Amino acid sequence: MATGRTHRPATRSRGIPEATVARLPLYLRALTALSERSVPTVSSEELAAAAGVNSAKLRKDFSYLGSYGTRGVGYDVEYLVYQISRELGLTQDWPVVIVGIGNLGAALANYGGFASRGFRVAALIDADPAMAGKPVAGIPVQHSDDLEKIIQDNGVSIGVIATPAGAAQAVCDRLVAAGVTSILNFAPTVLSVPEGVDVRKVDLSIELQILAFHEQRKAGEEAANTDGALPPAAARSDSADQGPDGDMPAVMPA
């Protein structure tokens, strides 16, 4: 589908569905764990269980990448790790900058999951002069006056915004102007960016609110059940160990 018939250049992703792309990192994590245990091959059933998804979905996801499995056997773990890594672009080095070194920014700087996936924290940037030079996670914080220079000197195309909401848009504008084309936004604000720039956002408060909704609903149903108003909980094979979210992480494309 969508071989060449591009209508709008908004969401053409070379045939790979967005939902599949969002799951690839999940598979990669499970595969990496298997690889470290020197497991040579894995079936779609096993891998799906490890990744917390349906096996049919996993096979269909992989089918978008190509036919990398062997029928009757399964998938070669190392080979699949490589293929997914390449597909995600993790075989190259991605320098990232983190702007806003508060509690969250510091946590991100210390987060080990980045380096192990090809991401390199090229610089930490903060607007507070008192922070300048102070090392966080072994990296000296630089002042935001030098933001443009830092971006350009390091060839940074991915920026992480961990500033207060009020500063986020201004920081975003400067990042984009300096050449950043992908932004991960932790500030609770809608960022407006020119076309061609990707923004993904993570809002911790929003996640809790979604949980609260379901929590309230559960409490309400329970009350209704003791009242005898509703029939007993019909067995829902819906999702035993997965939330109502299905697959989407805590993030939505902007």
Partner DNA sequence: CCATCTTTGTGCACGCGTTCACAAAGACAT
Partner DNA sequence: ATGTCTTTGTGAACGCGTGCACAAAGATGG
Quote the CA–CA distance of 179 and 171 in Å, as a whole number: 13
Partner that binds at residue 124, options DNA, a copy of itself, none, CB closer than 5 to 8 Å by kind? none
Report the site for a copy of itself in 81-110 (rule: CB under 8 A).
82-83, 86-90, 92, 94, 96, 102-104, 106-108, 110
Residues contacting a copy of itself: total by CB under 8 A: 115
Q: Which of residues 6-35 bind a copy of itself (CB under 8 A)?
A: 6, 12-14, 18, 21-22, 24-26, 28-30
Nearer to a copy of itself, 170 or 208 (CB): 208
- Beta-carbon contacts of residue 133 (< 8 Å; ≥ 6 apart): 140, 141
62 binds, among a copy of itself, DNA, none (CB under 5 to 8 A by kind): DNA
Alpha helices in the chain (DSSP H): 18-36, 44-51, 55-65, 77-88, 103-110, 147-154, 165-178, 204-227
Q: How far is the CB of 113 from a copy of itself (least distance, A)?
A: 4
Task: Tell me the DSSP string of 83-139.
Answer: HHHHHHTTTS-EEEEEE--SHHHHHHHH-TTTGGGTEEEEEEEES-GGGTT-EETTE
Among DNA, a copy of itself, none, partner that 73 touches (CB below 5 to 8 angstroms by kind): DNA
- From the CB of 85, what's the least distance to DNA, in Å? 17
Residues 153-192 that bind a copy of itself (CB under 8 A): 157-158, 160, 181-184, 188, 190-192
